[in-house]
Amino acid sequence: MSRSRAILLGFVAAGACAGALSACGGADERLGGASSSAAAAAIEPLPTRNPRAKAVEPVAGESAEFASLPAEDAGSEPAPTPAGASAPLGKGRGSEGGGPTSDSAISDAEVLKNGIALPPIEAPDEVRRIIEAGNQIARTPYLWGGGHGKWLDKGYDCSGSVSYALAAAGLLDGPLASGPLMSWGKPGKGKWVTIYTNPGHVFLVVAGVRFDTTARKQTGSRWLGEMRSTAGYVARHPPGL
C-alpha cells in the first residue's frame, strides 16, 4: 500500500468515526427530550383554589401559612349543633300564653345600682320598649302635671311617667291621669305588665320590677326591685301582656 493511499484510508476512517459520534450525540438528545417530556407528563399541575372558596383573614393561633391554604368543599355535611350551655333557647320555654317562666333569671328584669333597668331575656317587644322608655325618664325630676302637656317634659308626675312608658310601647294613645287609668286595659294583674292605680297615685310593675315616682326618694330613680303594698289600688293590665 502506498503512503498516499494509507493517508487517504486514514481520513476516511476518521470521518466515519466522527459521523458515528455525531449520530450518538443526536440519539442522546432525542432520548433526553423524550425523558424530559415523560417527566413533565408525570408531574401533576399545581393545585388551584376552590372557585367557591372565600379569602379569610388569619385568626389567633393560626399561622398565615395555614390560613392561605385552599378551602375545602364542605359538601352537604350539616353544621354542628351547639349543646349544653351553648345551645340556643328554644321557643315555648315560657308559660302557656307567652307569659314569664318560673326562672326569674330569664323572665325578670334587673334594676342596676345606677337606677337603670335591664329587660329580661324572654321579654316581649312591648316589655322591652316599656323598660327602655322608663330608663329615659327614670332620673328626671318629679313635676306635678309633667308629661301631660307634652311627652318630652322637664319632669313627670306619677301618671305622666306611667303614660310615657305605656305610650312608648304603643299601649296608650295619650297621657291619662291616675283616675282614668282605673278603667284602662283589662282588670286584674297581667303576665308581664300591671299598673296599680287609684284616684291619687299610679305605679307600674313590668317584668317583676316597679316603676314608681315614690322610689326616687330611695334610689334617685323611678325603678325599684321591691314591691309595695297594693291595698287600695285597682290592678289593670294591657291585653295579652
Q: What is the reported pTM?
A: 0.58
Looking at the structure of the chain, the number of domains it has is 2
Same domain, 116 and 7: no
Let me know whether 134 and 26 are in one domain.
no
Distance (Å, whole) CA 3 – CA 124 = 124
Q: Kindly state whether residues 4 and 112 are assigned to the same domain.
A: no
If DSSP codes are grouped into helix, strand and coil, which group holds residue 11? helix
pLDDT value of residue 183? 97
**Which pLDDT belongs to residue 4?**
52
For 114, the grid coordinates are: 345606677
Residue 136 sits in a domain whose CATH number is 3.90.1720.10
pLDDT score, position 106 = 76
Task: Answer yes or no: is 40 within a domain.
Answer: no
Q: Are residues 30 and 117 in the same domain?
A: no
121 in any annotated domain: yes
For residues 5 and 121, state if they share a domain. Answer: no
Same-domain pairing of 20 and 108: no
Residue 62 lies in a domain: no
For residue 34, how many C-alpha atoms fall within 13 Å in the half-sphere facing its CB?
6
| pLDDT digits (tens), the chain, 241 positions | 555 555 445 554 544 444 444 444 443 444 344 444 444 444 444 444 444 434 434 333 333 443 343 433 334 434 334 333 333 434 333 344 456 655 565 789 999 999 999 999 889 999 999 999 999 999 999 999 999 999 999 999 999 999 999 999 999 999 999 999 999 999 999 999 999 999 999 999 999 999 999 999 988 999 999 999 999 999 999 999 9
Q: What is the pLDDT of residue 98?
A: 56
Please check whether residues 128 and 9 belong to one and the same domain: no
Range of the domain at 22: 1-34
Residues listed for the chain: 241
Please tell me the predicted confidence (pLDDT) of residue 142: 96
Residue at 182 is within a domain: yes
Q: What is the distance between the alpha carbons of residues 120 and 102, in angstroms, rounded to a whole number?
A: 13
Q: Is residue 140 part of a domain?
A: yes
In a domain, 168, yes or no: yes
